Structure 1
């Protein structure tokens, strides 16, 4: 079965005289290869990788013109795979979507069938994109952290807490009964973070200026770090014995300047989170948790809905660090 429309709209990035320009263009669908699906996209969402792609970052996207969008949810309109049928509702995130494969900022995506996850029945399409890769990453982090750290063990800390992964991590942990300390560089967003479930706010400058010692006073039972660098170093050094910290980002720095003392004297565990290539069985498990036991009651409060025409404006704000929470893009009805 062919998709209903042979022409569709997409947010395109083009390289012109070493500059990167964006526009909404008409695109033509192409025939499916073996084991591919074509999805009519209903919602996408905005992520930092999308902003980097739009900016022409060759570490994210090597070739232009290109359609960004590492998240998409919609309905399958064409399938060459036995795993999926026409009409199935699916989520597609990470892998190569929106990086070097045209992504979710378009009315249609064409992707390998094994990239798709069935949309849980208790999750709307919009909810799925409020979560998106950020929610999946937060969920992966929570899943691993909760295997080693329980609510009664003490406070858990979340860095980059006004960002997508951070805000959702705060909200999920609060839903599960944890006492959450939120780290932010934006003191003005304290009310936002407390609304997500943070019981305490720790300013970024304060944790960056902790004493430069191999070990610090134990403050946290565990943590979810989204930024790397000095903040992750100090979270690890201030984690109590047998605590655990997850790491999923490097916006502050990819480098760590640590001794092994937190690991060999306190038994602290550092857990890496790779959301791009996370195994499908774990993805499915996390999505099902996000749709049930972990579902955030105030989920829509974390998100702003926009159209394709507003994407460029929001990306510029994201690059300036002026966005909070999640930005969802409504593509089609």
Structure 2
């Protein structure tokens, strides 16, 4: 081992939990940059997304995972679960995120999935800024501490950046010595095309609410710069039924235009360039229950 190996630390940190507890928000705020898309809808995160945080001699490679859930009605649910559970196999630290005082059967299910894993688990109690009865937090921590020998329990607010430095301290001190895997200016291993597709899907989920929760996916068909350095992007939105296509397009195309406008703003910030964005909607029956179709759309099952 070289002197530089001794002075540097580098390791993988899986962020896990049931759906909608704030895992993606937490990773984005730890990185200080938006990598994972967010919405109020459960199971917004479908892919395993890596975010890289380099702080002087320490590099933490965060792995944002889909929410672990008991119900697996379709192939997409099974693949998301495999992506989440597969991501904790070879990491150095696991951060389990829970929602304030709302421990439920879903949290118990996640904890059972981690029981045989010897990796240290830090429990992050998120959204503490929303607690109306803050005096209940300490008794709640005592109850949770009996469920597992957690490496640490840290109350946080990911959205408000509260106690994230304390959480990072607990993470960093458990990362192994070693050279950094990524350059200090790299923040993700995902391609720009992937991030653009995710931005479009985020705007869809925020616009559609409960009308079309999980039956759409986005595929980038064109990503090219012209001579004026304007980026031309064509994105295909896949749905499963004609009725869903009408919902996405909206009255006289109003909803699709709104999705495109919101997405273009974020994409231009991401790539620091003017963007011409075209959105198309296509019906592809049964795509969410077809593992071959899912893999062609870039979904993975967490296998290394």
Select the structure that is richer in helix: 2
TM-score by length of structure 2 reads: 0.31
Give the number of the structure with larger relative contact order, counting CA–CA contacts within 8 Å between residues 6 or more apart.
2
Select the structure that is richer in strand: 1
TM-score by length of structure 1 reads: 0.29
